[in-house]
Structure 1
Amino acid sequence: MTYPAQIRIAATYMRGGTSKGVFFRLDQLPERAQVPGPARDALLLRVIGSPDPYGKQIDGMGGATSSTSKAVIVAASERAEHDVDYLFGQVSIDQPFVDWSGNCGNLTAAVGAFAISSGLIDPTRIPHDGVATVRIWQANIGKSIIAQVPISAGQVQETGDFELDGVTFPAAEVQLAFVDPAADEDGEGGALFPTGKLVDELTVPGIGTLKATLINAGIPTIFVNAADLGYRGCELQEAINADPAALVRLETLRAHGALRMGLIARLEEAAARQHTPKVAFVAPPMDYTASSGKPVTADQVDLLVRAMSMGKLHHAMMGTAAVAIGTAAAIPGTLVNLAAGGGTRQSVRFGHPSGTLRVGAEARQVDGQWQVTQVLMSRSARVLMEGWVRVPGGSF
């Protein structure tokens, strides 16, 4: 029997923030995968190594976690005032689907560097030394992101002394501005607060009725108080991910929150929309030890936040969830703001399982409605490998 040979596709494997993913130029994908649809999804699933009933992604580029089962497609943008279009796919580990419903804020940090190195940015806009501004259109959610990419001798500067908790080694700092990060282009999920309330009462089977802040900024997120779930807010991954009953309760919470936010029409639809919304629980500051063994003291942070991603507690914090945290913290009365001590603020530093992160937000009230003009944070990014990925012919 004759089997089709493998084909190779130009790709770059990059770390962005606390995530890793396979990056492609749209025009370098096989023609049938250059458009949305089953062929594109099948290709990315095979590249990453999914679906894998063993949960390891051994036969692909994925790392068997939500942070490492990701794909990015970048193209020159035809939109005014934008350089590139950035499309993100969250690849399921054990199921045959790619979730296109949201952005990855961590991998956003690598998009500008990839665009420059891939020749998608006008060379006249790249300084010999300094910072290159890359204007990104985030195609999943229809939003603008501005990346400030450090340049040295005309090339992307990847090495440096910027330290990011959740990443072992220091690198060059990439500053990101998420512009007008509320509801996406077609209004999915409604406005900044889909229900019109800063705090809702959410009834969830197996948990009860609890307070929740439902917000759509960066990524749709459901914030609840850690104490209402029986947690302290300083938990590490093992405390949640090794508890199957807890994972079921949190997924049930996520499904009911998605329904209340208008992201799904029926509860059962949540199973096919794993990437969004996120669930996060918050608590006032306290001392704890991060997963690296690094001590985090209460006076170093304004609050504690733990967030779920693709059914598991995230090892650090998703960049998009950090946008939601910064936004909610800036608006008096949300659960995030109250956990941070209440009042008005333009930035917040929160504790997560790997350490701490600072994020800034500019919020204001217009005609009684809250608006957020931009959210600022710093990440880092680095090329890990570049060349080609190979997939068996006929697999997509």
Structure 2
Amino acid sequence: MTHAPQIRIPATYMRGGTSKGVFFCLQDLPQAARVAGPVRDALLMRVIGSPDPYGKHTDGMGGATSSTSKCVIISKSDVPDHDVDYLYGQVSIDTAFVDWSGNCGNLSSAVGPFAIANGLIDPARVPDDGIAIVRIWQANIGKTIIAHVPMTAGQVQETGDFELDGVTFPAAEIQLEFLDPSDEGEGGGAMFPTGNLVDDLEVPDVGTLKATLINAGIPTIFLNAADLGYSGTELQSAINDDKAALAKFETIRAHGAVRMGLIGSVEQAASRQHTPKVAFVAPAQDYVSSSGKQIGAGDIDLHVRALSMGKLHHAMMGTAAVAIGTAASIPGTLVHAAAGGGEREAVRFGHPSGTLRVGAQARLVDGQWTVTKAVMSRSARVLMEGWVRVPGDTF
């Protein structure tokens, strides 16, 4: 019996924010994987090591968490006034599935550095020292991200003293601007798809919950922690070790997705695992982060905990942070109420690993809320570069 040898594909393993992923240039992929479809999905799943019934990703580059089971494909952009196209795939851990329905805000911070290092940006626009501006077209959702990438001596600066809760070591700060981040999703739609700032979300076997359903950064369902029996200061184990709680959150997510018009029936939720997100909020209070850091109520405006791919996130997804900042700036949402009300264009919230500040500029236009820009800081670093190998009979 003969076996196909492995093939080598140029790739870069990068951390972006509190996530990690395998980055590819589109032209480096095998010809059949340069277009969307089952061949591309099969390739990326094999790179990550999915589906893995053991949930370990031992035979792949994935880290067996939603934050580390990601792939990114970058190419020069044909969209006017943009440098590169950024396509993001969230790879399921234990099922044969790649979700292309949304963005990864954390890995967005690594796109600019990757594009510069791989010669995808006009050299005339990249200073030897200072800040390089990279205009990114987020191809999953059709939105613009502007990355401010620090440069030193003609190279992307990766080291620095910027600290990001959820990341162990400091690095160089990369500021991201998410332009017009609302109306995400197939076909667009209103920022508040139901037309309400707060809805009564009826969930069989759970009850009726107050919910803010918002499309900003990523479709997100915000709930009150108290309505779920939580304080809002929970760490990962409190949720992820509770199978009943995870099942309840998935039921809420499925019914919320239907209410938001993202799917037609709850049965379709299994084929849309990446979106929407479910998050719960609570007023500011003292707590201890997962690293043992004491955080006072006066250091934050509110608490937010969010689930990604069926598990409580160890920190906060970047796109969900955009949703948090946007909702916090709009009076009447659950997030705004948890933050204490009042006018605000920025909010600092507590998450399991610490705190994060995000700004958003929202305004009411003809009776509809819109957000023009959300801003946050992240960092990124190349962890390894070279080639990934996959068996030649993968696709």
TM-score, normalised on structure 2?
A: 0.99
Which whole-Å CA distance do the structure 1 matches of 2:177 and 2:356 have between them? 15
Q: Report the alpha carbon displacement of residue 344 of structure 1 after superposing the two structures with TM.
A: 1.6
What aligned pairs does 1:357-368 form with structure 2 within 5 A after superposition? Answer: 357-368=356-367
Q: 1:90–1:185: structure 2 CA closer, same or farther, 3 Å change rule?
A: closer
Asked if the contact 2:184–2:219 (Cα under 8 Å) also holds between the matched residues in 1, the reply is no
Question: Are 2:164 and 1:164 aligned?
Answer: yes
Q: Which residue in the other structure is 2:205 paired with?
A: 206
Q: Give deviations 1:94-114, integer Å, cap 9, x for gaps.
A: 000100000000000000000
SS of 2:71's equivalent in the other structure is strand
Q: 1:185–1:219: structure 2 CA closer, same or farther, 3 Å change rule?
A: closer
Q: Which residue in the other structure is 1:113 paired with?
A: 113
Asked if the contact 1:45–1:98 (Cα under 8 Å) also holds between the matched residues in 2, the reply is yes
Q: Tell me which stretches of 4 or more aligned residues in structure 1 moved more than 2 Å.
A: 184-188
Q: Report the alpha carbon displacement of residue 302 of structure 1 after superposing the two structures with TM.
A: 0.2
Which whole-Å CA distance do the structure 2 matches of 1:91 and 1:352 have between them? 24
Q: 1:142–1:321: structure 2 CA closer, same or farther, 3 Å change rule?
A: same
Q: Report the alpha carbon displacement of residue 206 of structure 1 after superposing the two structures with TM.
A: 2.4
Asked if the contact 1:143–1:185 (Cα under 8 Å) also holds between the matched residues in 2, the reply is no
Which whole-Å CA distance do the structure 2 matches of 1:392 and 1:108 have between them? 29
What letter is aligned with 1:62?
G
Q: Report the alpha carbon displacement of residue 186 of structure 1 after superposing the two structures with TM.
A: 4.7
What aligned pairs does 1:202-351 form with structure 2 within 5 A after superposition? Answer: 202-351=201-350
Q: Which residue in the other structure is 1:136 paired with?
A: 136
Which whole-Å CA distance do the structure 2 matches of 1:41 and 1:276 have between them? 18
What letter is aligned with 2:211?
A
Q: Which residue in the other structure is 2:394 paired with?
A: 395
Q: Which residue in the other structure is 2:184 paired with?
A: 184
Q: Which residue in the other structure is 1:45 paired with?
A: 45
Q: Give deviations 1:271-294, integer Å, cap 9, x for gaps.
A: 111100000000000001000000
SS of 2:35's equivalent in the other structure is coil
Q: Report the alpha carbon displacement of residue 185 of structure 1 after superposing the two structures with TM.
A: 6.9
Q: 1:185–1:242: structure 2 CA closer, same or farther, 3 Å change rule?
A: closer
Asked if the contact 2:102–2:185 (Cα under 8 Å) also holds between the matched residues in 1, the reply is no
What letter is aligned with 1:243?
D
Which whole-Å CA distance do the structure 1 matches of 2:207 and 2:2 have between them? 58
Which whole-Å CA distance do the structure 1 matches of 2:186 and 2:23 have between them? 26
Which whole-Å CA distance do the structure 1 matches of 2:151 and 2:224 have between them? 42
Which whole-Å CA distance do the structure 2 matches of 1:387 and 1:192 have between them? 41
Q: Give deviations 1:232-251, integer Å, cap 9, x for gaps.
A: 00000000000000000000
Q: Report the alpha carbon displacement of residue 187 of structure 1 after superposing the two structures with TM.
A: 2.8
TM-score, normalised on structure 1?
A: 0.99
What aligned pairs does 1:69-80 form with structure 2 within 5 A after superposition? Answer: 69-80=69-80
What letter is aligned with 2:167?
V
Greater CA drift, 39-48 or 199-208: 199-208
Unaligned runs of 5+ in 1: none
RMSD: 0.7
SS of 1:214's equivalent in the other structure is strand
SS of 2:274's equivalent in the other structure is coil
Asked if the contact 1:207–1:229 (Cα under 8 Å) also holds between the matched residues in 2, the reply is no
SS of 2:162's equivalent in the other structure is coil
Which whole-Å CA distance do the structure 1 matches of 2:246 and 2:363 have between them? 36
Which whole-Å CA distance do the structure 1 matches of 2:143 and 2:292 have between them? 37
What letter is aligned with 1:9?
I
Which whole-Å CA distance do the structure 1 matches of 2:58 and 2:259 have between them? 38
Which whole-Å CA distance do the structure 2 matches of 1:212 and 1:50 have between them? 34
Q: Report the alpha carbon displacement of residue 369 of structure 1 after superposing the two structures with TM.
A: 1.0
SS of 1:67's equivalent in the other structure is coil
Q: Report the alpha carbon displacement of residue 215 of structure 1 after superposing the two structures with TM.
A: 0.1
Which whole-Å CA distance do the structure 2 matches of 1:10 and 1:360 have between them? 36
Q: Which residue in the other structure is 1:123 paired with?
A: 123
Asked if the contact 2:130–2:150 (Cα under 8 Å) also holds between the matched residues in 1, the reply is yes
SS of 2:39's equivalent in the other structure is helix
Asked if the contact 2:101–2:185 (Cα under 8 Å) also holds between the matched residues in 1, the reply is no
What letter is aligned with 2:60?
G
Q: Report the alpha carbon displacement of residue 128 of structure 1 after superposing the two structures with TM.
A: 1.0
Q: Give deviations 1:3-56, integer Å, cap 9, x for gaps.
A: 000000000000000000000000110000000000000000000000000000
Unaligned runs of 5+ in 2: none
Which whole-Å CA distance do the structure 2 matches of 1:173 and 1:14 have between them? 15
Q: 1:186–1:52: structure 2 CA closer, same or farther, 3 Å change rule?
A: closer
Q: Report the alpha carbon displacement of residue 308 of structure 1 after superposing the two structures with TM.
A: 0.2
SS of 2:258's equivalent in the other structure is helix
SS of 1:305's equivalent in the other structure is strand
Which whole-Å CA distance do the structure 2 matches of 1:132 and 1:298 have between them? 37
Which whole-Å CA distance do the structure 2 matches of 1:93 and 1:181 have between them? 28
Q: Give deviations 1:349-387, integer Å, cap 9, x for gaps.
A: 000000000000001111111110000000000000000
Q: Which residue in the other structure is 1:149 paired with?
A: 149
Q: Give deviations 1:51-105, integer Å, cap 9, x for gaps.
A: 0000001000000000000000000001111000000000000000100000000
